[in-house]
Each structure stands twice: as C-alpha cells, then as structure tokens.
C-alpha cells in the first residue's frame, strides 16, 4: 500500500542517496531509497536514452509500491569517444575501478584539450502511469590523466572541473550540490514540487 508522506528514490547506491537527500532537503516528507523500502529487485535499464531508462525504473518501482517515485539516469559523455560511454556508463565495465581504468586506457596519450567531456543527468518525477515529468542537468569538464579525490563515486575522481581546478571527487559537497549534473536536475525537480504544492 502506498504511503502519501513518502517518496522512493530509485536507487540502492548510498553515495547517490546522500547527495539526493541533501538536494531534496526542502521537501518535508520522508525520502527513501529502494533499500529503505525493502526493494531488492534488479531493474533492467534497456532504454535508448537517459529519460527512457529513468522512466523504466520509476514505472517498475511504482508497480511494486504505489508510491510517488523519483528516478534518474546519468552518464559520462566523452567527445573523443563519440559520446561514449553515455547511457551505458554503469555497464562500461564490471565495477568503478575497472570503469575508470578502461576510460583512462582509451584516452591514453590524448592531450588534455582533446579530453572534453560532460556529465548528463535526467531525473523523473513519477506520479502514476502516464503522469510524470523530466528534469535535466549537465556539467562540462575534461577527463584527467589519473584519479584524484574521494568525495564522490563513479567517474567523479577523473572528471576535472576547470572552474575549480579540481576533479569532481575533490570538490566539497556544498560545491557539488551547486554545480553537478545531478544537482541541477534535482534542484529543478525540487523547485517544481514546491511550486506545485504537491505535498499540501
């Protein structure tokens, strides 16, 4: 049975949940992860775009719980790799360490100015079948020559942000929550919820 004072985030990633809880701190209701909600299902993300994958996850979890769902899909797009790994970023290699090693291997010897990349995030606020909204966010940067920093997950340690002369994983959480792709998408989602008075 659904609980109107709860929103389930379509992730079991604890690092992502920490970021999302902070980004949605203005919403006066309980924010739950799939783990918090006791959902262990593996959802196959077989869409052809970030928005399709976000919607697939939201629909699957809504069918289980009946709750309002917030899902997202994100990826790293590297110009020198024709936009890869893109929507397949999470499946680029077996785990984070291997994904980073594979990426740096593919870009080995490429000069810094040719290593331009961006993080892309599409968040989905899902109310029920046929009722949902998408929110987008991107951040531009470059791929560094080696991992640096521990304040992040995924490709954060090799995503260099020129404005700060640091990788995403070296930035403070406050700065990440202002500039990251996920921050931009979820900030727009947060503002939409508050503006629409969805919880009144």
18's CB contacts (< 8 A; 6+ apart) are: none
Residue linked to tokens 């309002």: 68
The verdict on whether 73 is a catalytic residue reads yes
**How far is C-alpha 3 from the geometric centre of its chain's CA atoms?**
25
Catalytic residue among 36, 73, 79, 174: 73
Task: Give me the residue label for tokens 């919403």.
Answer: 27
Element holding 73 (H helix, E strand): strand 68-78
Q: Which of 159, 185, 192, 163 is nearest to 175 (CA)?
A: 163
Residues near 109 by beta carbon (within 8 Å), at least 6 away in sequence: none
Nearest to 134 by CA among 57, 200, 67: 57
CB atoms within 10 A of CB 35: 14
Give the residue numbers annotated as catalytic, written as ranges.
73
């Amino acid at each position: 049975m659904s609980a109107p004072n709860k929103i389930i985030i379509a992730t079991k990633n604890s690092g992502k949940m920490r970021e999302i809880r902070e980004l949605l701190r203005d919403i006066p209701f309980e924010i739950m992860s799939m783990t918090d909600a006791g959902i262990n299902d593996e959802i196959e993300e077989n869409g052809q775009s970030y928005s399709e994958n976000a919607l697939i996850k939201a629909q699957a979890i809504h069918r289980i719980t009946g709750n309002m769902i917030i899902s997202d899909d994100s990826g790293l797009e590297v110009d020198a790799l024709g936009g890869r790994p893109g929507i397949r970023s999470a499946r680029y290699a077996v785990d984070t360490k291997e994904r980073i090693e594979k990426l740096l291997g593919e870009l080995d010897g490429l000069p810094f100015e040719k290593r331009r990349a961006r993080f892309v995030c599409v968040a989905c606020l899902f109310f029920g079948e046929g009722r949902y909204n998408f929110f987008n966010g991107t951040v531009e940067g470059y791929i560094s020559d080696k991992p640096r920093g521990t304040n992040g997950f995924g490709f954060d340690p090799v995503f260099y942000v020129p404005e700060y002369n640091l990788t995403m994983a070296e930035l403070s959480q406050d700065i990440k929550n202002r500039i990251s792709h996920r921050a931009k998408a979820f900030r727009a989602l947060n503002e939409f919820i508050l503006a629409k008075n969805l919880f009144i």
